[in-house]
Amino acid sequence: MKFIPAIDLKDNNCVRLIQGKEENLTVFNKNPVEQAKFFENNGCERIHIVDLDGAFGRPEINKKTIVDIRKNTNIRIELGGGLKKINDISFWINQGIDFLIIGSLAVKDKDLALHISKKYKNKIYVSLDILGGSVMVKGWLEKSKTSLENIFKIYNNSSVKGFILTDVSRDGTLNGLNIPLIKTVVSKTNKNIIVGGGLSNYSDLEIIKNYSIDNSNLEGIIAGKSFYSGNIEIRKALNLLKSKNKKI
């Protein structure tokens, strides 16, 4: 079970939004490269980078910053935000990004998404951004007409590495994980699942760790505001998740 800290990029700053809304923005670090180095130096296996400007249709703004993070760290990187074309995917694979996350593309052009996942086997995650039971696209601004069930029918037998599940209503709120939603998604696929949205404290980590012991496809938990607000300290979180014992 991986502890995966997040770097959300907007205007080349490390920021956090609440429920994905641009107007609810807090800048936490103006040097994302140093932030990535911090995560690597403190023992994290992977970081979760979201290009928020890319998700909102401005893909060039943070490109150099992401390249600089890659050049200055050896940590594994999963990257999402506005990846809509095969050229986008190829560019980042060639830059050395380990995993890429597709959302709108996976919903709106399944044939291209399946082609990409086959070309880059076990490099692609499909983003499941859920709000009120709907799958959200276009930077969480638009409800899609595609159901979760349909997404699993399309991708469960594909070459995607897994799914990244976010409860949009809880993202950046510190209101706790949506455990019923997580259990529902984990039960519907054998693919790896990484979860985010609402992580608040060590109790949440204990709950998700306990659940992962009996569900090996639960790969990791994304920490954003819970880390930046000081609720969770990285080394303590890593030690908690490494423990194989259930805490009742």
Dihedral, CA of residue 204, residue 208, residue 213 and residue 218, to nearest 10: -160
Residue 186 to residue 180: CA distance in whole angstroms: 10
Q: Across the strands, what pairs with 218?
A: 193
Residues contacting 21, CB < 8 A, separation 6+ = none
Amino acid at 79: L
Q: Name the helix (H) or strand (E) containing 86.
A: helix 86-94
Q: Catalytic site residues? A: 8, 129
- Angle among Cα 172, 225, 192 to the nearest 5 degrees reads 80
Is the distance from CB of 1 to CB of 182 less than 8 angstroms? no
Residue with tokens 């180095």: 37
- Angle among Cα 86, 66, 48 to the nearest 5 degrees reads 85
Terminal C-alpha separation, the chain: 18
For the chain, counts of helices (H) and of strands (E): 11, 12
Residue 227 to residue 200: CA distance in whole angstroms: 9
Of 83, 32, 48, residue with least CA distance to 171: 48
